[in-house]
Amino acid sequence: MLTLITGGSKSGKSRLGESLAAGLPGEKYYIATMEPFGEGARDIILRHRRQRAGKGFITVERYTDIGSAPVSEGSCVLLEDVGNLLANEMFTAGARDPAGKIADGIAALGKKAAELIVVTNQVGCDGFDYPPETAEYIRIMGDINRRLAEMAALVTETVYGIPLVLKGELPSWL
Do the domain assignments include residue 132? yes
Contact of 82 with 63, CB cutoff 8 Å? no
171 falls within a domain: no
Whether 113 is covered by a domain: the verdict is: yes
Give the residue among 91, 85, 93 at the shortest CA–CA distance from 141.
85
Listed as ranges, residues in the chain with pLDDT below 70 are: none
Q: Which pLDDT score is estimated for 112?
A: 97
Q: Tell me the per-residue pLDDT of 27-38, one tens digit each, with 9 for 90 and over.
A: 999 999 988 878
| Structural domain containing residue 94 | 2-166
Question: Which CATH number goes with the domain that contains 143?
Answer: 3.40.50.300
- In the chain, how many domains are there? 1
Q: Give the pLDDT of residue 86.
A: 97
What does 68-124 look like in DSSP terms, one character per residue? G----TT-EEEEE-HHHHHHIIIIII--SSHHHHHHHHHHHHHHH-SEEEEE----S
Does the residue 173 lie in any domain? Answer: no
pTM score, two decimals?
A: 0.92
